[in-house]
Structure 1
Amino acid sequence: MTAHLHPTDDRLPRWLAAVVLAAAAWWLAYGHLTAFADAVIARLGLTRDTRLGEAVHFFFYDTPKVLLLLLGVVFVMGIVQTFFAPERTRALLAGRRTGVGNVLAASLGIVTPFCSCSAVPLFIGFLSAGVPLGVTFSFLIAAPMVNEVALALLFGMFGWRVAALYLALGLAVAIVSGLVIGQLRMEAHLEDWVRQILAGQRAAGAHDTPGWVARFEAGRDHVRQIFGKVWPYVLAGIAVGAGIHGYVPEDFMASFMGRDVWWAVPAAVLLGVPMYTNAAGIIPIVEALIGKGAALGTVLAFMMSVIALSAPEMIILRKALKPRLIATFAGVVATGILLVGYVFNLLL
């Protein structure tokens, strides 16, 4: 189609100024999350040396972090999708190219050091941009589980062989799980408001090339559509995570994770799901458990379940996904994690 030329819009300077100021404020706020959380617990008379203080600090650090990411990602994705017709995006990543899309999405997860809740905004942004469901799940799984933070810490603590095997198996879980979920064709189990966004994109024409004012307005409207619906679930999810953060019963877990029984790996996965932290937070626990005699594969399966299948993540996802799709996601990923645990225990 021939692009229509747009006359200069007198609103553009105001939009540019607003976006620059908002971006500067976003960057400033994101760079002071730890200081903000420190100030909150100091004001409350708490310290991070106590379990309560650590939980409160976690909540006031992670909540603004995830909300800022949600705001920024949704706004940017609203602009980005104005450059691509939805049908073209879907055609690029669907059909025979779906496997390539899963590999690319999982690879993107390696360079995005997000915890599971922080990855959800990008997941929702990908969905709203018309990226196939299975491909978005490959990213959602890989981002918290296989990132440079996890790999660097594993390399430093256990050597390159463990880090390389973890990378290969973690990517395999993300790619294969996304492919399986994509093949199940579960788009009908997206919540209605998500499907309405997708339906609106299909109906939207791509005959004109919008100007920058229209692109900024699309980003703003995207935020209104998505952020307003999701933020209460973000608060609820992180509150659950904060409530159990710091209360990891290492001695109890090590008592069965070192046992040479078939049920040790499934028990470790089930124990990890209610917990919530990122790779940097869980790997020191992994090291402590191994130091107490736990099997490496069993502990890594526990680690994967904590950072890729956390209960807070499920609470946030519930706003966009129906229970059957969440259960399918959890079941497929848990199966992959179990296999990783058994393979590690077999090979190492």
Structure 2
Amino acid sequence: MFDWLQHFADWVIYAVFQVGAETHLGTALNFFVYDTLKILILLFFIVFLMGIVNAYFPVERLKDYLNKKKLYGLEYLFSSIFGAVTPFCSCSSVPLFIGFVQGGIPLGVTFAFLITSPLVNEVAVAMFLGMFGIKATLIYVVSGIALGTIGGWLLGKFNLEPLLSDWVKKILDNKMQQAAYKEEKQTFYQRLPEITRGAWDIVKGVLLYVIIGIAIGAAMHGYVPENFFNQYLGGGEWWTVPLAVLVAVPMYANAAGIVPVVQVFVAKGVPLGTAIAFMMATVGLSIPEATLLKKVMSLKMIAIYFGVVTLFIIFSGYLFNILLYRFG
């Protein structure tokens, strides 16, 4: 989908600026250009679509339905499955998270999407299947969806709405203006300039956070060597799973990009469950993601979200190792 953007990043860094493709600097700069442009494009496109939805679709009715209807947790499962089929990394998922919050979708349901979206996608599943087989792939997929479902449900019980940022609260409080806007019964082309301006305003609001977050991820991507982790995670001791999760948080990659790294880890003696926990923490928790979320959440809310997901991933890592040891 974004191959043309990768070619553009290659051309800018390697041809125009003539930075070597095999150097740490070249890898980091290429990653920065590609991911910054990709996320900004995704952000504008998704928020623009949510603007159209808000203009034409009764989001308030959907929100009331999700809040009042007894779905017995299925709303969290459906949101988690939707996250699994969307090919987004953690930072790319944030724009859709913003759109969900802006549309009034319950926060716990939105969290279920945010947790699962980077953890599981079809490209990573295909790669995982080819590298590790059907049993490991099923454990990976089912656990990723379960992690999002249970994590979203639990976070929803915390009633975290007051911890959203003032920027988001202003968006949510703008209901009177939205109602008047709908009552005018304008055509789509009449509404288009206003929808476009609204989308661009949101992009401008998070632009600095995108740049800072991707810069951190690019530095990690370009300068942290794989062998740094292999020597500390291969022993199989009880503390290697939480260590794998904690050292993965500063990293930043999508699931498809980290699967080959997991293969290298396993080939060098790291238990597969520990390696999967590392992968989940890398794609599901990252400093760049936290930087982007700072625009929509308070620090306390980010800490709660990261803390819950971190504990769940650590537990999953232990469970992976037990299941893969017993049935592998």
Q: Following the alignment from structure 1 to structure 2, what is the Cα–Cα distance between the partners of residues 202 and 132?
A: 20
% same residue: 44
Code of the aligned partner of 1:153: M
In structure 2, the partner of 1:17 is none
Give the deviation of 1:203 after TM superposition: 7.2
Q: Tell me, yes or no, if the aligned pair for 1:74 and 1:223 is still in contact at 8 Å.
A: yes
Match of 1:61 among 34, 44, 53: 34
Alpha-carbon distance change, 98 to 316 in structure 1, aligned in 2, over 3 angstroms? farther
Q: How many corresponding residue pairs?
A: 320
Give the deviation of 1:218 after TM superposition: 4.3
Match of 1:88 among 42, 61, 75: 61
Q: Which has the larger radius of gyration?
A: 1
1:115 pairs with 2:89: yes
In structure 2, the partner of 1:283 is 259
Match of 2:12 among 40, 49, 55: 40
Q: Tell me, yes or no, if the aligned pair for 1:138 and 1:177 is still in contact at 8 Å.
A: yes
Q: Tell me, yes or no, if the aligned pair for 2:119 and 2:144 is still in contact at 8 Å.
A: yes
Mark the runs of 5 or more structure 2 residues left unpaired by the alignment.
none
Deviations 1:118-151 (CA, angstroms, capped at 9, x unpaired): 1111110111111111111111111110111111
Q: For residues 160-175 of structure 1, what are the structure 2 equivalents within 5 Å? A: 160-175=134-149
Match of 2:205 among 213, 220, 229: 229
Deviations 1:311-339 (CA, angstroms, capped at 9, x unpaired): 10100110111001101110111111011
Code of the aligned partner of 2:221: H
Q: Tell me, yes or no, if the aligned pair for 1:86 and 1:130 is still in contact at 8 Å.
A: yes
Length-normalised TM-score, structure 1? 0.87
Alpha-carbon distance change, 262 to 31 in structure 1, aligned in 2, over 3 angstroms? closer
Match of 2:24 among 41, 51, 57: 51
Q: Following the alignment from structure 1 to structure 2, what is the Cα–Cα distance between the partners of residues 299 and 131?
A: 34
Match of 2:217 among 241, 244, 258: 241
Code of the aligned partner of 2:125: L
Q: Tell me, yes or no, if the aligned pair for 2:245 and 2:277 is still in contact at 8 Å.
A: yes
Give the deviation of 1:47 after TM superposition: 2.6
Q: Tell me, yes or no, if the aligned pair for 1:77 and 1:219 is still in contact at 8 Å.
A: no
Secondary structure at the aligned position of 1:288 is classed as: helix
Q: Tell me, yes or no, if the aligned pair for 2:167 and 2:295 is still in contact at 8 Å.
A: no
Give the deviation of 1:180 after TM superposition: 0.9
Q: Following the alignment from structure 1 to structure 2, what is the Cα–Cα distance between the partners of residues 124 and 330?
A: 17
Secondary structure at the aligned position of 2:237 is classed as: coil
Q: For residues 77-226 of structure 1, what are the structure 2 equivalents within 5 Å? A: 77-95=50-68, 96-97=70-71, 99-201=73-175, 204-205=178-179, 209-226=185-202
The RMSD of aligned alpha carbons is 1.8
Q: Following TM superposition, where does structure 1 have runs of at least 4 consecutive aligned residues deviating by more than 4 angstroms?
A: 206-210
Q: Following the alignment from structure 1 to structure 2, what is the Cα–Cα distance between the partners of residues 201 and 175?
A: 30
Code of the aligned partner of 2:38: K
Match of 1:303 among 246, 261, 279: 279
Q: Tell me, yes or no, if the aligned pair for 1:296 and 1:345 is still in contact at 8 Å.
A: yes
Deviations 1:12-38 (CA, angstroms, capped at 9, x unpaired): xxxxxxxxxxxxxxx9xx552111111
Code of the aligned partner of 1:131: I
- Worse-superposed segment, 208-217 or 137-146: 208-217
Secondary structure at the aligned position of 2:252 is classed as: coil
Mark the runs of 5 or more structure 1 residues left unpaired by the alignment.
1-26
Q: Following the alignment from structure 1 to structure 2, what is the Cα–Cα distance between the partners of residues 103 and 60?
A: 35
Secondary structure at the aligned position of 1:246 is classed as: helix
Deviations 1:281-314 (CA, angstroms, capped at 9, x unpaired): 1111111111110011111111000000011010
Q: Tell me, yes or no, if the aligned pair for 2:36 and 2:211 is still in contact at 8 Å.
A: yes
Length-normalised TM-score, structure 2? 0.92
Q: Following the alignment from structure 1 to structure 2, what is the Cα–Cα distance between the partners of residues 31 and 273?
A: 27
